[in-house]
Amino acid sequence: MSRERLIVTAVAIQGLSQAEAARAYGLSESRVSRIMTRWRREGEAGLEPRSRRPKTTPTAIPAARRSS
């Protein structure tokens, strides 16, 4: 079980406060708050890892100007 699922379980089912869960799992209160917000908004899918790859590269050279 992922750490995010453990935190959601601790807060939603066991009744821990977000501050208590943060102390128990060694995270900041703001991180626990973000996890809970994502879970409330997206459900189980919100707990899946996300890509950290940027969606765009603003400094990239346009394809038309690149030489092959």
Residue 29: inside a domain: yes
Residue 67: inside a domain: no
Residue 56: inside a domain: no
**Domain of residue 22, residue span:** 3-47
Residue 17: inside a domain: yes
Residue range 4-39, pLDDT digits in tens: 999 999 999 999 999 999 999 999 999 999 999 999
Residue 41: inside a domain: yes
pTM above 0.85, yes or no: no
Overall number of domains in the chain? 1
pLDDT of residue 66: 74
Residue range 48-64, pLDDT digits in tens: 988 889 888 888 888 88
- For tokens 């501050």, name the residue: 19
Residue 19: inside a domain: yes
Residue 23: inside a domain: yes
The DSSP annotation for 2-65 comes to -HHHHHHHHHHTS---HHHHHHHHT--HHHHHHHHHHHHHHGGGGGS----S-S--TTSPPTTT
Residue 9: inside a domain: yes
